[in-house]
Structure 1
Amino acid sequence: MTGRRPPVGAIMRPLATATALVLAYYLLPMDKRFTGVAAVTLVLGLAALLLLFVRQLRSISASSRPRLRAVETLATTVPLFLLIFATTYYLLERNVPGSFSEHLDRTGALYFTLTVFSTVGFGDIVATSASARIVTTAQMVADVLLVGVAARVVVGAVETGLRRREAPPAPAEDA
């Protein structure tokens, strides 16, 4: 069984990554205001997330355990995605107080992000400024893409990995 990762590692790595991301979200200083630079940082963060996701898809297809690798990918990508938006909402509220129906601290921003992501939308926090509504709308679109398109792409990568794993080895060429 050389070269195979134990399932425990496939569970512990994304759990450790998600924990580290949440700790970073709460512990890193976020004293900057949400400016044009912050908006560009949001876009670059989402682009980096997309590149990470594409890289992860390749590793799913090549993995000896594509299903576990897919779980690892989603367990890492989704928290990072959500924390990028939570950070954006937090910084937006710091820059333009009143962008939401109540003040958003880090926990409030994460809560709002999760209610938008889950489409629950309790209504206790709503975007009130134009910039907050634009970012929230962008998150809604990205959520649909993440849940729909990305999930389908991950399933396709798993199927490719399973086919590759189950395919008979190619016959050796005569020298």
Structure 2
Amino acid sequence: MTRAVISAVVRPAATVGVLLLVYYRLPMDQPEDGYTVLRLVCALLLVLVVLWWQIRMIGRSAHPGWQGVQALALVVPLFLLVFAQACFVLARHQPGSFTVPLSRTDALYFVVTVFATVGFGDIAPVSAAARVLVTVQMIADLLVVGVALKVILAAVRRRSG
């Protein structure tokens, strides 16, 4: 295998691993205050900045297809972990927001099932705040799947062609 292929496989796997490590090690004991929603908005803006940066990287890459894979391996998990963190913090500060108490793993599992539109039903939002958060996630999921994926693929095609 070429160095580019190895890099395209190892870097995305390492990226996901590092993101998961940060998610599980990040202190999430911030107080519930007026800044809770602001922190979520800032984190989502960070995801947009990372997406923009990745699109620029695709435009400069000698291997845009592999760079596109790396972009998806960074943007999608980062996006999901932002919502997992938000669900975890909400469940911690407002017990009863979901049908069960959420650990970090439970929050990540829930966010991924919502993203994948599987919805097993074992965890569900109960409070108004949880339902608003999950509704925002569902709308953002559609944007990530539709818009972000399309933009990344367009950048790869433009650079490859």
TM-score range, shorter chain: over 0.9
> Take 1:5 and 1:48, find their aligned partners in 2: how far apart are those partners?
30
> Take 2:34 and 2:121, find their aligned partners in 1: how far apart are those partners?
28
1:27 is matched with: 25
> Take 1:28 and 1:78, find their aligned partners in 2: how far apart are those partners?
19
- Matched position secondary structure for 1:6: helix
How much is the aligned-residue C-alpha RMSD, in angstroms? 1.3
1:13 is matched with: 11
Aligned 1:31-110 pairs, distance under 5 A: 31-110=29-108
Aligned 1:126-145 pairs, distance under 5 A: 126-145=124-143
Structure 1 unaligned runs (5+)? 164-175
* Number of aligned residues: 160
Q: Larger Cα Rg: Structure 1 or Structure 2?
A: 1
Amino acid of the structure 2 residue aligned with 1:112: F
With the length of structure 1 as denominator, give the TM-score of the two structures: 0.87
Amino acid of the structure 1 residue aligned with 2:111: T
**Displacement of 1:109 after TM fit?**
0.4
**Displacement of 1:52 after TM fit?**
1.1
**Displacement of 1:31 after TM fit?**
1.4
Residues 100 and 132, structure 1, Cα contact 8 Å, conserved in 2? yes
Query: How many percent of aligned residue pairs carry the same amino acid?
Result: 47
> Take 1:155 and 1:65, find their aligned partners in 2: how far apart are those partners?
13
Residues 60 and 70, structure 1, Cα contact 8 Å, conserved in 2? yes
